[in-house]
Structure 1
Amino acid sequence: MNKQVLGIVLGGVLVALGLGSCGYFIGQTMYNAKVAMNIAEVKGLAEQRVESDIANWQLRFSISSKNKQDIPALYQQAEAQQQEIMAILKANGFTGDEIEIGLIEYKYYEYRNDSQTVVDQDHELEGMISLETTKVRDVATVRGEVNKLVAKGYNITNYAPTYRFTQLNDIKPEMLKAATTNARIAANEFAANAGVAVGGIRSARQGNFSITDAGEEYGDRHKIEKDVRVVTRIEFYLTE
């Protein structure tokens, strides 16, 4: 094909799906050919599904009385509940290094009528326990065990855990390789249809890596499984 054909402006969009051998790679590529400059600009997408390696979980427990004289007894009960919760965590395989025990805090509430006379009051002791662990799959089990204390009359707020993936640097090279491979696949298919060939890389730009909950477009804290995504933008030379 002569250079006049290479001078024709071509444009379009091509999506190519690819599966990487080292993970759950899904490649998607798009092109915007700049044949007037004898180059083709291609976007290569790589995605990999991973599992969170860090889980964070918090729970709150509280005990209250309307009688100020009960405060010493409340402290004893609160400390006993704290120790019982700690025993459940350790029985499920969590260590002291993974558990953070907050201070037991005293809170006082009073309620007044229209005349600003105190008509009721609450004296409350509240404690927090936090967990940070790499045993992400075990958190759901221990949450269920702690919830059983509600049947004993404990006032427990069992917050939903959050999950994070922190090993991005370990998978970056393979994902960038997959994105580049998928970009070249799209460029080759376009070039074949245009009767030209793909040469070397003129320029390459890496986009940001994004991490979202599996199957979601936004959010990255609520699911153990995550989708990691990166887009590269590559310009290839076109030759006859």
Structure 2
Amino acid sequence: MNRTKLLLAAFAGIVIIISAWLLAQGVTNFRKESPKLNVTGMAEKQITSDLIVWNITLKAKGDNRASAYSQYKRVAAIMRKYLKAHGITDPALSTSSVDINQETRQVYNRDSHQYDSYDDGFSVTQTFTVRSNDVPLVERVYQNIAELYNEGIDFSSNAPLYYYTKLNDLKMEMLNKASENAYERAQTIAKGSHSAIGAMLSSAMGVFQIVGLNSEEEYSWGGTFNTSSKEKVASITVRTTYEVEN
């Protein structure tokens, strides 16, 4: 019995010694670990849109399908002629499918105190889309399109959408600048604390977004991509971690 107790006591002592050694090693390694510095670098650049997209919706009406479509063809011919005369050629123009729908009108019935529906002929609609890299040209046509109302045609003109087509090149350029900015910030922080920047441990791209120039658009963590302004500001962030050398 005494021999068993002695063996158990010896085993427990060995376990305590090993545990203490492992703990001491962990504390030593923890103390030896280099401090880290997390910084966020940022870059901005003003860009001018190089692609404009403009949608025009044509509408025509008739008592029946045939007359509505005949009227539509007249309207479409006038629109095509106008756009071509002002420099918008066929390669820059595409169209949606033609939609023909039966129209109804609502008339209030005083006897039943409700609205009754009546057939009101047919309507034909189609969207013309102008897509061009000649942004100034399309802007001029857009600004003067109201002249066509004098021709007695029915259409609606949406505000143009503006895009920048070299986003991949832009993103690479700005990532480089944002990384340089992150390193400069890290150096400034380290210098203020009498330390030096060591090796980069990790780096990840943050938010890339585009907002209108001088606009009040709010920046979003998910990224904002403005299409309403020709002049824009692109921005990108980079989150980087460096070792700090004392």
Which residue of 1 is the match for residue 72 of structure 2? 78
Aligned amino acid, residue 69 of structure 2:
Y
Q: 1:196 to 1:99 in 2, by over 3 A?
A: same
Larger helix proportion of the pair: 2
Q: 1:106 to 1:203 in 2, by over 3 A?
A: closer
Matches within 5 A, 1:79-228: 79-111=73-105, 113=107, 114=109, 121-214=120-213, 215=215, 216-217=217-218, 218-228=224-234
Q: 1:103 to 1:191 in 2, by over 3 A?
A: closer
Gaps of 5+ in 1: 1-35
What percent identity do the matched residue pairs reach?
Answer: 24
CA distance in 2, matches of 1:145, 1:183: 48
CA distance in 2, matches of 1:119, 1:171: 57
Gaps of 5+ in 2: 1-32, 219-223
Q: 1:190 to 1:74 in 2, by over 3 A?
A: same
Which residue of 2 is the match for residue 230 of structure 1? 236
CA distance in 2, matches of 1:148, 1:101: 21
Residue correspondences, number: 202
* TM-score for both structures, normalised by structure 2: 0.71
Larger radius of gyration: 2
Q: Tell me the SS of whatever aligns to 2:90.
A: coil
- Alignment check: 8 A CA contact 1:85 1:146 kept: no
Runs of 4+ in 1 over 6 A off after TM superposition: none
Q: Tell me the SS of whatever aligns to 1:195.
A: coil
CA distance in 1, matches of 2:243, 2:142: 57
- Cα deviation, residue 39, structure 1: 2.3
Which residue of 2 is the match for residue 6 of structure 1? none
Task: Supply the RMSD in Å over aligned alpha carbons.
Answer: 2.6
Q: 1:87 to 1:145 in 2, by over 3 A?
A: farther
Cα offsets for 1:46-87 (capped at 9, x unmatched): 11121223222211122224x44xx64543432222122112
